[in-house]
Amino acid sequence: MCGIVTAISTADIVPVLLEGLRKLEYRGYDSAGLAIVSNGRLARLRAAGRVAELAALAEREHASARIGIAHTRWATHGVPSERNAHPHISGGLAVVHNGIIENFEAIKSALQARGYVFESDTDTEAIAHLIHSKLAAGADLFEAVRLATNELHGAYAIAVLAEAEPERAVVARSGAPLLLGVGEHGMYAASDTAALLQVTRQVIYLEDGDVAELRLASHRIVRPDGSSVEREIHLSSLSADAVELGQFRHYMQKEIFEQPQALAQTLEIITGGGSVAPQLFGARALEVLGGVQRVLVLACGTSYHAGLVARYWLESVAKVPCSVEIASEYRYRDSVPDPDTLVVVISQSGETADTLAALKHAIAQGMQRTLAICNVPESAIVREASLRFITRAGPEIGVASTKAFTTQLAALALLTLTLAKLAGRLPEEQEARHLQNLRHLPVAVQKVLELEPEIERWAQRFAAKQHALFLGRGRHWPIAMEGALKLKEISYIHAEAYAAGELKHGPLALVDRDMPVIAVAPADELLEKLKSNLQEVRARGGELYVFADAGSEIPESEGVHILHMPEHYGMLSPVLHVVPLQLLSYHAALVKGTDVDKPRNLAKSVTVE
Binding-site member from 303, 391, 416, 533 for ligand F6R (CB under 6 A): 303
| Of the candidates 104, 85, 21, the residue with the CA atom closest to the CA atom of residue 47 | 85
Which stretch in 348-356, 365-373, 386-394, 495-503 sits in contact with ligand F6R by CB under 6 A?
348-356
> Residues of 399-416 as b/e, b for ≥16 C-beta within 10 angstroms?
bbbbbbbbbbbbbbbbbb
The CA-based angle 298-300-301, given to 5 degrees, is 140
Pairwise CA distance, residues 3 & 13, whole Å: 17
| Phi and psi torsions of 139, nearest 5° | -75, 155
Which stretch in 152-160, 344-352, 383-391, 507-515 sits in contact with ligand F6R by CB under 6 A?
344-352
Looking at beta carbons, which pairs linking 358-366 to residues 24 or more positions away fall under 8 Å?
358/298, 358/325, 358/327, 358/328, 358/330, 358/331, 359/298, 359/327, 359/384, 359/385, 360/384, 361/330, 361/331, 362/296, 362/298, 362/330, 362/337, 365/335, 365/337, 366/337, 366/339
Which stretch in 209-217, 343-351, 448-456, 494-502 sits in contact with ligand F6R by CB under 6 A?
343-351
Residue 301 makes contact with ligand F6R by CB under 6 A: yes
State the nearest-atom distance from the C-beta of 393 to ligand F6R, in Å: 11
E strand segments, 175-328: 179-182, 186-190, 202-205, 211-214, 219-222, 234-235, 294-299, 322-326
| Of the candidates 195, 172, 165, 191, the residue with the CA atom closest to the CA atom of residue 183 | 195
Q: Which of 301, 483 has the CB closer to ligand F6R?
A: 301
CA dihedral 100, 102, 103, 104 (to 10 degrees): 30
Task: Concatenate the DSSP letters of all residues of 242-271 into one string.
Answer: GGS-TT-SSHHHHHHHTHHHHHHHHTGGGS
Residue 359 makes contact with ligand F6R by CB under 6 A: no
| Phi and psi torsions of 519, nearest 5° | -120, 135
Measured over all CA atoms, what is the biggest interatomic distance in the chain, rounded to whole angstroms?
80
Please check whether residue 58 is in contact with residue 47, taking contact to mean a CB–CB distance below 8 angstroms: no
Binding-site member from 120, 341, 370, 401 for ligand F6R (CB under 6 A): 401
Q: Which of 116, 477 has the CB closer to ligand F6R?
A: 477
Residue 302 makes contact with ligand F6R by CB under 6 A: yes
Known catalytic residue: 2? yes
Distances 472 to 270, 369, 412, 530 between C-alpha atoms, Å:
30, 32, 20, 8
Pairwise CA distance, residues 445 & 258, whole Å: 10
State the nearest-atom distance from the C-beta of 599 to ligand F6R, in Å: 9
Q: Which of 149, 348 has the CB closer to ligand F6R?
A: 348
Length of the chain in residues, anyone? 609
State the nearest-atom distance from the C-beta of 177 to ligand F6R, in Å: 12
Which stretch in 267-275, 301-309, 418-426, 525-533 sits in contact with ligand F6R by CB under 6 A?
301-309
What is the amino acid identity at position 510?
L
Residue 594 makes contact with ligand F6R by CB under 6 A: no
Which residue among 2, 300, 322, 374 is the active-site one?
2
> Looking at beta carbons, which residue is closest to ligand F6R?
301
Pairwise CA distance, residues 406 & 445, whole Å: 10
Binding-site member from 120, 253, 341, 349 for ligand F6R (CB under 6 A): 349
State the nearest-atom distance from the C-beta of 464 to ligand F6R, in Å: 23
State the nearest-atom distance from the C-beta of 356 to ligand F6R, in Å: 9
Residue 355 makes contact with ligand F6R by CB under 6 A: yes
Which residue among 134, 403, 598, 604 is the active-site one?
604
Known catalytic residue: 604? yes
Which stretch in 53-61, 157-165, 345-353, 580-588 sits in contact with ligand F6R by CB under 6 A?
345-353
Specify the 3-state DSSP secondary structure of 303.
Answer: helix
**Binding marks (x or -) toward ligand F6R, 261..300, rule CB under 6 A?**
---------------------------------------x
Which residues make Cβ contacts (< 8 Å) with residue 223, sequence separation at least 6? 209, 210, 211, 229
Sites for ligand F6R among residues 12-51 (CB under 6 A): none
State the nearest-atom distance from the C-beta of 202 to ligand F6R, in Å: 26
Residue 341 makes contact with ligand F6R by CB under 6 A: no
Cα torsion 14, 20, 22, 27: sign: negative
State the nearest-atom distance from the C-beta of 376 to ligand F6R, in Å: 8
State the nearest-atom distance from the C-beta of 350 to ligand F6R, in Å: 7
Beta-bridge partners for 222: 211, 228
Q: Which of 18, 596 has the CB closer to ligand F6R?
A: 596
Q: Which of 402, 418 has the CB closer to ligand F6R?
A: 402
Binding-site member from 6, 266, 347, 582 for ligand F6R (CB under 6 A): 347
Residue 352 makes contact with ligand F6R by CB under 6 A: yes
Which stretch in 342-350, 506-514, 540-548, 562-570 sits in contact with ligand F6R by CB under 6 A?
342-350
Pairwise CA distance, residues 236 & 311, whole Å: 35
What number of chain residues touch ligand F6R (CB under 6 A)? 14
Q: Which of 530, 606 has the CB closer to ligand F6R?
A: 606
Q: Which of 191, 349 has the CB closer to ligand F6R?
A: 349
Residue 379 makes contact with ligand F6R by CB under 6 A: no
**Binding marks (x or -) toward ligand F6R, 459..488, rule CB under 6 A?**
--------------------------x---
Q: Which of 177, 278 has the CB closer to ligand F6R?
A: 177
Residue 406 makes contact with ligand F6R by CB under 6 A: no
| Of the candidates 411, 298, 287, 307, the residue with the CA atom closest to the CA atom of residue 359 | 298
Pairwise CA distance, residues 564 & 549, whole Å: 6
Please check whether residue 85 is in contact with residue 47, taking contact to mean a CB–CB distance below 8 angstroms: yes
Pairing between β-strand 31-38 and β-strand 41-48 as defined by DSSP bridges? antiparallel
The contact set with ligand F6R (CB under 6 A) reads 300-303, 347-349, 352, 355, 400-401, 485, 489, 606
Active site residues: 2, 604
